[in-house]
Amino acid sequence: MSKETKLDQPASAPILEVRGLQKSFGSIEVLKDISFSVTQGNVVTVIGPSGSGKSTLLRCASFLETANGGDILYDGEYALKDGVYAEKKDLNRFRTRFGMVFQNFNLFPHYSVMKNICEPPMLRGCGKEEARERAAQLLQKMGLEGKEDAYPCQLSGGQQQRVAIARALALEPEILYFDEPTSALDPELTGEVLKVIRQLAADRMTMVVVTHEMAFARAVSHRVVFMADGCIVEEGSPEQVFEDPRQDRTKQFLSNYTK
Amino acid sequence: MSLMTMIAKMSEGLEKTCAIFFLTLLFAIPLGMIVALLRMSKNKIISGIVRFFITVLRGTPLMLQLLAVTYGPHYLFGADISRNKLIPVVIAFSINYAAYFAEIYRGGIESIPKGQYEAAAVLGYSRLQTFMRIILPQVVKRILPSMTNEVITLVKDTSIAFAVSYEEIFTIGKQIANSQTSFMPFVVAGVFYYLFNFVVDRIMGLFEKRLNYYS
Ligand SMILES: Nc1ncnc2c1ncn2[C@@H]1O[C@H](COP(=O)(O)OP(=O)(O)OP(=O)(O)O)[C@@H](O)[C@H]1O
Ligand SMILES: [Mg+2]
């Protein structure tokens, strides 16, 4: 409910704002002047050819890579300002605002499903009972009840990815990043993961999703960002980007998917 | 000398053999981790120096290192040769084994996928928490088979202490063999090392089994 009301306040700062972001690996410029923002309750999908910098963008936003220039703001507060990061304790505070779901799940193999989900909140001071209760609710939401005591190696890829989503949600992030959440899955398992993400979108979870699943991107997102060669080439509503792309580069890219 | 008295006499060295074995493990296991972490240091000078020492310790005979630690101080500074040979023996063995363990640890640590660190970072684990809770337990499982090999080698290597006349089983066996002109003490020693390693193998097997709950 409160989320709805917040949505109607245009004055409130976007949850994530990126301005003029730059990132180079050695002499290769991977991100060149990237600017975009994500407001509360919105789903932004990022599409684009391999190597265009989509993962790097999410990795910069989640502090897994060190950007070389630009600004990153969470709720209007600078995490990165003009290429300079905030202090470590502030970065840790910003870390509590986002969650990340990786292509390869990156579950902890030596932990049970329950412990994978419960330990991070408990390390942040959440009580054991509360953490377990929340984990149980999330597992139910992910369609994984009864898997509490399983180990990741005993689960299918689709189940592992849903555990990873539950693990990220257990920290109650304001925004969730997905980096090709279904790319490592067998085709018949992508549906169950996409369904869960759709459900989150319906619950108005704020998300940035890098994906190659065009039908999904179209159905779920409020805005679509098309990246190529480290730049945002085109950005707009899914209808606009998919049905009436303005840039030749976008048309060319999308034609690979409609064949 | 009857076989029974021979066995009884050699058993007196059992305690010392066990002392070398357990004390070496006690010191080398943590020391190896420190060495491994220094070896992986981002500081090129530190990692270079540590790497050099590792190659020396692995590239020269343990017996030579043992002699150096036991008699080196005497030749260099005129220090008294320690009466209690256990100290130099344990020092030499611990340093030598730490070098081997360090390389095993390093291999184990480097085999953990980068994604484990990244997931932990995003989930708010500190560097220490990431290492102790996420990385180390997985490393232990991965390196256990290599560690079993090293521990079995250590059992046999304790016999090298005869080079400084530390009276563990092999040294006593050799003394008896010389005085009795008999090969029998060596057979007894061989059986003893075999039995010791039989137990070691079982125990390490139990550890491996306990960590088999995931793959
Ligand atoms: N750690 C790194 N060191 C050097 N170059 C890197 C590194 N990570 C990424 N790159 C390079 O940066 C560019 C962008 O990579 P990125 O992974 O962000 O692309 P992507 O859009 O996610 O591609 P994909 O669709 O294949 O996942 C690529 O050319 C890649 O080779
Ligand atoms: Mg990528």
pLDDT in tens, A141-163: 999 999 999 999 999 999 999 99
Residue A181 pLDDT grade (very low, low, confident, very high; cuts 50, 70, 90):
very high
Residue B80 CB neighbour total at 10 angstroms: 7
Give the rounded distance of the alpha carbon of A218 from its chain centre: 16
Residue B130: its chain A contacts at CB < 8 A? none
A95 is a domain residue: no
Helix ranges restricted to H, chain B:
3-11, 14-39, 44-59, 62-77, 86-110, 114-122, 127-129, 136-157, 169-180, 184-210
A120 is a domain residue: yes
A151 is a domain residue: yes
- The predicted structure's pLDDT at residue A7: 46
Question: Can you read off the two tokens belonging to residue A7?
Answer: 């949505």
**CB proximity under 8 Å: A 91-110 to B:** 92, 95-96, 98-100, 102, 104, 106-110
CA gap A231, A212 in Å, rounded: 17
CA gap A171, A168 in Å, rounded: 6
A215 is a domain residue: no
Contacts for B199 with CB less than 8 Å, ≥ 6 apart: none
Report which protein residue has its CA nearest ligand 1's atom 26.
Answer: A50
Residue A11 pLDDT grade (very low, low, confident, very high; cuts 50, 70, 90):
low
The domains of chain B are located at 20-166
- pTM equals 0.91
The domain of A117 spans: 108-172
Please give the tally of structural domains in chain A: 1
Query: Which residue of A58, A98, A108 is the best one to mutate when testing the B interface, meaning the one whose CB has the most B CBs within 10 A?
Result: A108
Query: If one looks up domain B20-166 in CATH, what number appears?
Result: 1.10.3720.10
Phi, psi angle pair for A20, to nearest 5°? 55, 35
pLDDT in tens, chain B (215 residues): 788 898 998 888 999 999 999 999 999 999 999 999 999 999 999 999 999 999 999 999 999 999 999 998 888 887 777 778 899 999 999 999 999 999 999 999 999 999 999 999 999 999 999 999 999 999 999 999 999 999 999 999 999 999 988 989 999 999 999 998 889 999 999 999 999 999 999 999 999 999 999 98
Burial degree of B137 (CB within 10 A; 0-12, 13-18, 19+): middle
- Helix or strand (DSSP H, E) at A169: helix A157-169
Residue with token string 């606009």? A240
Residue B112 CB neighbour total at 10 angstroms: 15
Q: How far is the CA of A160 from the centre of ligand 2 (A)?
A: 19
CA gap B144, B69 in Å, rounded: 29
